[in-house]
Amino acid sequence: MGKAGRFACIFTPMALTIAALICMVLIGLGGTNKNDKNLSGLWFFRADLSNFTTSVDLIPGTNLDNQLLAEALATAKKDSNLKDVYTVSLWNYCNGTKTDGDNFRIDDCGKPSASFWFNPVAVWGLNNTVADKAFPDALKNALSAYQRVAQWMFTAYAVAFIATAVELLFGFLAIFSRWGSLATTICGSIASLFILAASITSTVLYSALAGSFDSYLKPFGIQGSLGRPMYTLTWLAVAFSWAAGLFWLFSVCCCSGRSNSPKRVKVEKAPYTYERVESPAHGQYGDHVPLHPMPAASGKHGGAYEPYRHEHV
């Protein structure tokens, strides 16, 4: 298998890595542009206040009069601090107005921040009011846990994104060497672990937050829900990332990229062995050495040449 075969071998993990990276980019862009319906429709959690009411009696799980919280929320609603809908994305939130049915229009989105967490007390303008004290302890604990875990969740998504980007760059080196595949596999493993951890965290975290809203704020007509498109993206990123990691690992063990064509082997000659030496004349006459006739010996006698025969003087 040559270079072309190795390229074909790593095409699948490369495509899966690109798909995982695209999903992570969309997760990061969710809720950052109020004018883009696709991006503004990507959110983890939504608080729906369109059916807000103050006709309540007691807060579930507490002895405090709901009227304290109801009056504070009503004041916030009157001061236009309460919007119909709040959507929470990775590092910011948006607010909007309910249009018809379950549809709503995004009016404004907050500035993205790495330390973002959705604090309803601050967002709804309930700071320094009796409503802050009227919140049930269970809901306060849920918000406090959400604040701490939200920082870890953002870090996990950021590490997964960076590791996937590096994995894609190293993937080009994997075309030429299995060492490149090894480096890519290491980056892919880091990306897979962090995107899995981030997805589990976001799913559990916002499911708990939505449950807390429904349990303690539903008497006020406030409901929490999860965004299916965002969770579809994050779990697709997990699937693509883990599949890419497995194929990168396969490319380390197989698909060496070496050619299977036979190579000529040069055999070294053993020392002290006989080797025929060609005659210098071969270059001119080939394998046949020319024979030149010898001239006849000069002398007075015409007989045969006798070297030991002496002439008499």
Q: Six-digit token pair at 67?
A: 């009227």
Write down the pLDDT at residue 63: 47
Write down the pLDDT at residue 104: 87
Q: Provide the residue type at 182 as one letter.
A: L
Residue with tokens 């045969």: 304
Write down the pLDDT at residue 242: 94
Write down the pLDDT at residue 60: 53
Write down the pLDDT at residue 196: 97
pLDDT tens string for the chain (313 positions)?
445 555 667 788 889 999 999 999 999 999 999 889 899 899 999 999 888 877 665 555 554 556 667 777 777 777 766 888 999 999 999 999 988 777 888 999 989 999 999 988 888 877 766 666 667 777 778 888 889 899 999 999 999 999 999 999 888 777 766 676 778 888 889 999 999 999 999 999 999 999 888 887 887 888 999 999 999 999 999 999 999 988 877 776 766 555 454 555 555 555 555 555 555 555 555 555 555 565 555 555 555 555 555 555 4
Report the C-alpha gap between 182 and 249 in whole angstroms. 7
Report the C-alpha gap between 70 and 295 in whole angstroms. 141
| Helix, strand, coil percentages, rounded to 5, for the chain | 50, 10, 40
Straight-line distance from the first to the last Cα atom of the chain, in angstroms, rounded to the nearest whole number = 94
Write down the pLDDT at residue 225: 92
Of the candidates 86, 48, 44, 45, the one whose C-alpha atom is nearest the C-alpha of residue 220 is 48
Q: At what angle do helices 137-173 and 3-29 cross, to 10 degrees?
A: 150
